[in-house]
Amino acid sequence: MEPRSGEPERTRRPRGNALPPLLGSDRVKKVLVDQGSGAEMMYRDLFKGLGSKTKDLSKYNTPLVRFDGWMVVLKGQISLPVNMEGKEVMVNFIVVSSFSLYMAILGRPWIHAIEALSSTLHVKVKFHTNHSVAIVRGDQQAAGQCLMVAVNREIKQKESAEKVPL
């Protein structure tokens, strides 16, 4: 993903911000920038893929509840540098064991730390670097695929829950 200047080309629906920043020294694809999230999340597969171990986690005792009321299994918290287009900040990720098509979620704390503007309409994040303004575009196709799989998975879960006898 290359930074570009000027107005975005026409976007396709569905929209989302699937961006590939550097976490530590690894380029990570399918990272959701979510203006509605008050915390940064990292899913188990990414945690393991980065070579992190359980001993690297610090305790995180605040319960996390999904919008549907289910509790999320928390593994702990890990602090890692996140670098996007040369702008690096330390981020405290909550590591969880639940399913997600994304590898991580960057929420408002990260958006505010790099003083970014995030646009889901244009599928991009814009922020100042030391020498210029960076514009990083998300992958519309990947975001759309993640959305469709998540919706289909939710439908299947509801259908199977309806079939369970009481």
CATH of the domain at 81: 2.40.70.10
CA distance 3 to 98: 32
Q: What is the pTM (predicted TM-score) of this model?
A: 0.74
Task: State how far Cα 100 lies from the chain centre.
Answer: 10
- Report residue 158 as tokens: 């509801």
List strand residue ranges (DSSP E) for 85-157, in order: 87-96, 104-106, 117-119, 124-128, 133-137
Residue 24 lies in a domain: yes
Residue 4 lies in a domain: no
Domain count, the chain: 1
Dihedral sign, CA of 21, 24, 27, 31?
negative
Residue 11 lies in a domain: no
What 3-state DSSP class applies to 40?
Answer: strand
Domain span including residue 118: 18-161
**Per-residue pLDDT at 27:** 78
Residue 94 lies in a domain: yes
Residue 65 lies in a domain: yes
Helices (H), the chain: 44-49, 108-113, 140-162
What is the full per-residue pLDDT of the chain (166 aa) written as tens digits?
A: 344 455 445 444 444 444 566 676 677 878 888 888 889 999 988 999 888 888 999 999 888 877 777 788 889 999 999 988 888 999 999 999 877 888 899 999 999 999 999 887 788 899 998 889 988 887 777 777 777 777 777 666 666 555 545 4
